[in-house]
Structure 1
């Protein structure tokens, strides 16, 4: 494991590599509201260290970023060049990380993603399946829209971007289509074979320190321009992923 906040260790680790993918991040969205300084060190200073080291060794840097850099109030998918306007500490620190990478190295790919789930670690589908097995009903917000994205698909997309020698710039690494958390929860229950009732509510019912984007749908025009096919529809990909994710 590499401490991306340690410049000397970063330079030593990056030396001799052709491509570096930065998956390190402070992702505790609510905790960042009261620990923005610490989150900034990981989400902005860390990427700056990696970018300088990558430039020095001639490596291409892939910076994984987030939908939280946007305000989250759009009505159509955010294009890659849409102005950033983060509303949370997490979003501000990740936007700063993007800026640092662009400032420190010309050979970079900033890949924004959102609503990730996977077999390893905690994620929304696992939580829903666990609650569904314990309760007769669950309540989920229906006023936040996004693109559930399998970590396996994101990793494969990054590999395809690198293999295609995509131009330096910003890309969106999310599934296609869109759904609410409520709609996704319904699909999770079906996939898990649970008859748990899913009831809808609004974000106002769930008070949290950090504001959540109401609209996290990202466009994929830059991928197509680079000759790289975007990730497929979220529902089709969930049908493939549900077995390994819920078993993980």
Structure 2
């Protein structure tokens, strides 16, 4: 579904992404792990053409070079950015409806009712304006807005960041349900969420991929993974 070869992103003299190569298959969920500043967000922004980059990016066999961000979205590669970016002067329901503009004639995918089924906490909030939503409610709205765009693949940046544990659980449960229908590439600092949602993981450090593994292999590499993330042992598999 997605093939990335030798992706590089530079901001002036800063070389943020250094030769990243990875693949995501149809129906597969892959996590991007790594410390702050590792190049994870820059990688997603480059894939969705929000940031200039060099290297080869192919989506379902099509070269995305030269396409604008809106053209990439209309091909079904949908980006849910860090920070949620809901429209604060629109209601929850209007934010979701806005996501449908990227469908570009694609059928199937998720309906508005599907989103409310995935995130029942949004049902009583349909008419609430974006500025009045909690962080968790905004995150559910942002993911839902991406889902109604009939994605063939979603790029999701830090879905659990700053959320209460009960909301993290709701978001993780929804993404587990989504992955059976949509390929995912997910940046996630919470390793336990990443392991639950995804089948494979790639660890970035210093802008480069330093480790790739199936998530069921991460337990055996726990100490190594923790060293890359700058954390104590994660206790994956506990």
TM over 0.5: no
Q: When you count strand as a share of all residues, which structure comes out higher?
A: 2
Greater C-alpha Rg: 1
Q: TM-score, normalised by structure 1?
A: 0.29
Compare relative contact order (CA 8 Å, sep 6+) and give the higher one, 1 or 2.
2
Q: When you count helix as a share of all residues, which structure comes out higher?
A: 1
